[in-house]
Structure 1
Amino acid sequence: MQTVVPPAVSAILLDIEGTTTPISFVKDVLFPYIKENVKSYLHTHWDEKECQEDVDLLRKQAKNDEELEGAVLIPEWCSGENADKEQALEMVTNNILWQMSQDRKTTALKQLQGHMWREAFLRGEVKGEVYKDVAPAIKEWRKEGKKVYIYSSGSVEAQKLLFGYSIEGDLLELFDGHFDTKIGSKIKAESYREIAKNIGCSTDNILFLTDVTKEARAAEEAGARVILVVRPGNTELTEEEEMSYSIITSFGELLLSDLKAN
């Protein structure tokens, strides 16, 4: 099956997990790396400015989470030069592991994860996994004058690492820009309006490719066009969802005009 992209589309916005990259890479490689190495990473980098900024952001997030059931808090004394390092390390580590167990998408968590993954990618311990159909398709879209952007819960830095150090080589030149949760939640319509403003187009000019129906609904509410991506290992769609959206299983199934379809 092939899906025709309306001529009005000038920008293609891509999710990562389950869209450009297997969910298994995120769940079986990236997240376990954080869980296994977070305490040693914090111990090694604790006295560095970047790490202290990460800890301070995590502490502020923990304060906002005080009312959540089971929340793991980080006292104020855990950040700064006078912190008891070992006790602080334990509390910050426990907070990170709790957030991950709840599948939180907070900017504080994603920032720390991004810094850890940067070290892993630069050392060659991890390489970004990208579906084989992704790079060839994006190259074709760009030849046709389309702009291509990434919008992911992972930090912009983490996105650039994944594509810059991928098994397919450095793919960063394929993208015109990157967005993360700093612009807003992926399940809020306003986020897609903000992205359109940032790009300099109408939401009607944006095609969003994602595997998550909550994100698809938010983008649609904002006026963007949406196609769901079905990949191996993705959450199975309901019959209603299958009826409600255009679906592709490969980027190669997108056609950029009716002329190409004939």
Structure 2
Amino acid sequence: MSIKAILTDIEGTTSAVSFVFDVLFPYAAKHLPDFVRQHAERADVVEQLAAVRADSGETGADVERVIEILLEWIAADRKATPLKALQGMVWEQGYQAGQLKGHVYPDAVEALQRWHAEGYQLFVYSSGSIQAQKLIFGCSDAGDLSPLFSGYFDTTSGPKREAASYQRITQAIGVQASEIVFLSDIVEELDAARQAGMATCGLAREGGELAGHVTVNSFALFDPGTF
């Protein structure tokens, strides 16, 4: 069965891990405290602060304690959905102010544009929030790439290393799992996608193999027509 949709990870796949860890995370850590203080009564922020309290088990935490928890989560690289949502709000301000530009590898830009032109549906699945995903591609150093994508998925679809998450995504996309190919640099994610019935391709940009999966070191070397 031929591939109809391409689902891609971001960190280490379309974009450098260093952009997230050396640019985005420090920016959020620096600006998040004041953002939370200034917008603590805004409805969408209120919702996420409540989720932080619930997730941490500190339901009575005041705003300053919630900020401490968020900074602890950032330092630990915790994949917490309310943290990702709040980081996305902070990054949005940075992108709008021109202080941030999303990094996307040139080979990924070229391939995504080509695949879109060839009629493939393109989707993103990343542990970063959907808002953050849209910002990386919408405000990228290659311009606005958002028209290329048909949809975005984050941890609200489930953990990236569990097959059930990819089953939910398959249902949302609306094609057979075997008609979707998932691209990632993490073998456990690729394993989970395969368990859900998807085709897989590993990105090993520094070389090497992702065990059990077709592996390339550049988007230019991946041809979805061969799956």
Alignment TM-score, normalising by the size of structure 1: 0.82
The equivalences for 1:87-236 within 5 A come to 88-232=62-206
Long gaps (5+) in structure 1: 1-6, 64-73, 79-87
1:46 aligned partner = 40
1:13–1:207: 8 Å Cα contact kept in structure 2?
A: yes
Matched position secondary structure for 2:124 = strand
1:22–1:231: 8 Å Cα contact kept in structure 2?
A: no
The equivalences for 1:47-62 within 5 A come to 47-62=41-56
Displacement of 1:46 after TM fit? Answer: 2.0
What's the C-alpha RMSD, in Å, of the aligned pairs?
A: 1.6
Displacement of 1:47 after TM fit? Answer: 2.7
Q: Which residue identity lines up with residue 139 of structure 2 in the other structure?
A: Y
Given the superposition, is the C-alpha separation of residues 256 and 226 from structure 1 closer, same or farther in structure 2, using an over 3 Å criterion? closer
Q: Which stretch has the larger CA shift, 199-208 or 133-142?
A: 133-142
Percent identical: 38
CA distance in 2, matches of 1:188, 1:123: 37
CA distance in 2, matches of 1:204, 1:163: 26
CA distance in 2, matches of 1:54, 1:257: 42
Q: Which residue identity lines up with residue 4 of structure 2 in the other structure?
A: S
Displacement of 1:243 after TM fit? Answer: 4.7
Q: Which residue identity lines up with residue 93 of structure 2 in the other structure?
A: E
What is the aligned counterpart of 1:31 among 25, 44, 49?
Answer: 25
CA distance in 2, matches of 1:58, 1:16: 25
Q: Which residue identity lines up with residue 53 of structure 1 in the other structure?
A: E
Kindly provide the CA deviation profile for residues 178-210 of structure 1, in whole angstroms up to 9, marking residues without a partner as x.
011111111110111111111111111110000
Q: Which stretch has the larger CA shift, 13-22 or 246-255?
A: 246-255
Alignment TM-score, normalising by the size of structure 2: 0.94
* Higher alpha-carbon Rg: 1
1:82 aligned partner = none
| Structure with the larger RCO, 1 or 2 (CA within 8 Å, 6+ apart) | 1
CA distance in 1, matches of 2:225, 2:199: 15
Kindly provide the CA deviation profile for residues 76-125 of structure 1, in whole angstroms up to 9, marking residues without a partner as x.
2x4xxxxxxxxx23211111122223321121111111111111111111
Kindly provide the CA deviation profile for residues 158-197 of structure 1, in whole angstroms up to 9, marking residues without a partner as x.
1111111111110000111101111111111011111111
Matched position secondary structure for 1:244 = coil
Runs of 4+ in 1 over 3 A off after TM superposition: none
Q: Which residue identity lines up with residue 194 of structure 2 in the other structure?
A: E
Number of aligned residue pairs: 226
Given the superposition, is the C-alpha separation of residues 219 and 256 from structure 1 closer, same or farther in structure 2, using an over 3 Å criterion? closer
1:39–1:89: 8 Å Cα contact kept in structure 2?
A: no
2:187–2:211: 8 Å Cα contact kept in structure 1?
A: no
The equivalences for 1:60-99 within 5 A come to 60-63=54-57, 74-76=58-60, 78=61, 88-99=62-73
Displacement of 1:49 after TM fit? Answer: 2.2
Long gaps (5+) in structure 2: none
Kindly provide the CA deviation profile for residues 125-150 of structure 1, in whole angstroms up to 9, marking residues without a partner as x.
11101100112111221222211100
Matched position secondary structure for 1:125 = coil
